[in-house]
Structure 1
């Protein structure tokens, strides 16, 4: 039988952390200079990258971090700094802003990781995996991860009509909002990392 309680817990936790709705303005700002087909491709690529990273860390996360002598707070801090750099680019704004990311694959960085598959989602998944002790709990965790990524794809895929509707001036506004949201996420990650180091967990 399926462990529905664990399934709901996994889905809700990862949904809150990965925040499909909050990803929309960031996705719109990063893909604003692209063709619709390119933006659609970026949406599924970002979800695929995120799913791959989450899966790898679910199975091998503890071993990878131990082998590289990396603590979870260090992973959080690194993810926060990387997101902060992207946020500052969106906030400061340059004339080429709408096409700034045309020739780069934003689906890999920063969308796929560390925005979607960030330290929070990775750590949460690793903790849920530790609860797996039967086929039912394994299916619950796996299905929860899959459903969250399906929600992420739907949110980004159907944000494209919004992009066509708001046009260039709207894109500029969305870009500023995205930069602000992303900087807040980055600062929170860094603050959590510093707090954990001070508590002696690093």
Structure 2
């Protein structure tokens, strides 16, 4: 026996508050991708390998330039969305997914070659 589920009784203000509450959670996807394990470990390795002030200044300049480029791309994002439209964004997303998949397959094959050197000759 199954009963009918009761309908929610909310006024417009409660519905808008619910929508705001549901959209509060933001997942910071850009931060782990921009400053992920590769960037952090590379910074640590290069920072410990080269101790001179010139190298540290060079690293700092490179990081500052990267941050400036990211800021510029983020500032241009609304313009890019208008320029590309939803179809263009979908196409770029699929192309980037294809490239990411190709990189993943390359990493897997390289790992298998390292484990079994005579397997893929």
Partner secondary structure for residue 50 of structure 2: coil
Q: Which has the higher contact order (CA 8 A, sep 6+)?
A: 1
Q: What pairs up with 1:27-176 in 2 under 5 angstroms?
A: 103=23, 104-106=25-27, 108-109=28-29, 111-114=30-33, 116-166=34-84, 170-176=85-91
The structure 1 segments of at least 4 consecutive aligned residues displaced by more than 6 Å after TM superposition are none
Counterpart position of 1:182:
97
Q: Distance in 1 between matches of 2:75 and 2:111?
A: 36
Aligned length: 93
Q: Secondary structure at the match of 1:158?
A: helix
Distance 1:105 1:153 in 2: 19
Query: TM-score under structure 2 normalisation?
Result: 0.56
RMSD over aligned CA atoms reads: 2.9
- Are the structure 2 counterparts of residues 121 and 134 from structure 1 closer, same or farther at C-alpha, using a change threshold of 3 Å? same
Segments of structure 1 that go 5 or more residues without pairing to the other structure are 1-101
TM-score relative to the length of structure 1: 0.37
Are 1:192 and 2:107 counterparts? yes
| Structure richer in helix, relative to its length | 1
Match of 1:46 in 2: none
